[in-house]
Amino acid sequence: MPELPEVHTTVEGLKKTVVGLEISDVWTNYKSDYTPYKNQIKNKNFFKKFKKTVTGQKIVGAERKHKNILIHLDSGDTILIHMKMTGHLLYGQYVRSNSKSQAPKDKHWLVETWRPHPKEKEALHDPFNRHIRLVFSFTNGKHLVLSDMRKFAKVTLLETEDLSVLGPEPLEKTFTFEVFKKQILKKPTAPIKSVLMDETVIAGIGNIYSDEILFEAGVHPESTPGTIPEGVLKNIFTHIKPILRKGIKFGGDSMSDYRDINGARGNFQGEHKAYRKTGNPCSKKDGGLIERKVIRGRSAHFCSKHQKLEGQ
């Protein structure tokens, strides 16, 4: 799932490519009658409203709010995109076409698809960029598309979304140790790994970066906030901003399918010290081997030798 650095990198790409452009059309093949999707473009009735609202509007800005991408229009409306597990935005020239699909065996029909123009940059032709679910066409002949292999991404208008339930933004100056401590101790008995990933506690720290933060802080992912001494909590806090900023510096993490606005891979996966390093030697002098354990449904990667389980 794209985390804070990946979303930040995407927004910076949007600022360089689509701000100032006018939307001439919108296309999607998202379709769902699932009730929670009634205010998202996956609902056909909402999509009709969405398309009518945004077509003809000029993009005047883009920003990140936690893990949400906000695209501001000159009408005063804002498009909200949450990339969820496999979504990422791409900018370039795309070609609309029909291809034959077979299912069941005795029937054929045409399925509408979008592909990068043959002359577009090589990165856009990456196989991870081919799952096009949403296309914004611009009057300059270019397109902003959403590739989303597993179809989990969320697209709506800001007026339908309330972001107030999300925790504080970890890169803001107002995110002090006092704020961090207050938020973390809201869940004193939960594993620190899970608490760091909880969007209602701190927004933007996902699976990859929580592993890397706890590795550097020397804290076992199953330690609980209520048992972690204040000095150790401060150590965790001091690693949050530097690691997230490092993720941004390296253009995000493409260990999985994340790609930037130009279709290129990020490079933070080359900086991992814990995430998906199972069986590798720990880089710390007093370390052992990196282990993997599922904690509340999510994989945690850590060194049990130098990452201490607090309260034991």
Q: Which two tokens stand for residue 73?
A: 């229009």
Q: Is 141 helix (H, G, I), strand (E, B) or coil?
A: coil
Which ranges constitute the DSSP H helices of the chain? 4-17, 44-54, 177-184, 192-197, 207-217, 230-249
Catalytic residue from among 84, 130, 298, 308: 298
Q: Are 256 and 85 in contact (CB under 8 A)?
A: no
Catalytic residue from among 2, 5, 170, 191: 2
Q: Annotated catalytic, 44?
A: no
Query: Is the bond into 168 cis (omega within 30 degrees of 0)?
Result: no
Which residues have a Cβ under 8 Å from the Cβ of 249 and sit 6 or more positions away? Answer: none
Provide long-range contacts, Cβ within 8 A and 24+ apart, for 247-256. Answer: 247/3, 247/4, 247/5, 247/6, 247/208, 247/209, 248/5, 248/8, 248/9, 250/5, 251/9, 252/2, 252/5, 252/6, 252/8, 252/9, 252/10, 253/3, 253/5, 253/6, 253/208, 255/208, 256/86
Catalytic residue from among 64, 65, 67, 265: 67
DSSP codes, 253-296:
--SSS---TTS---SGGGG-SSTT-TTSBPSSTT--BEEEEEET
DSSP 309: -
Measured CA to CA, the distance from residue 198 to residue 187 in angstroms comes to 10
Q: Annotated catalytic, 298?
A: yes
Bridge partners for 92 per DSSP: 143
Catalytic residue from among 3, 120, 222, 291: 3
* Nearest CA among 1, 128, 17, 133 for reference residue 67: 1
Q: Annotated catalytic, 3?
A: yes
Active-site residues: which are they? 2-3, 67, 298
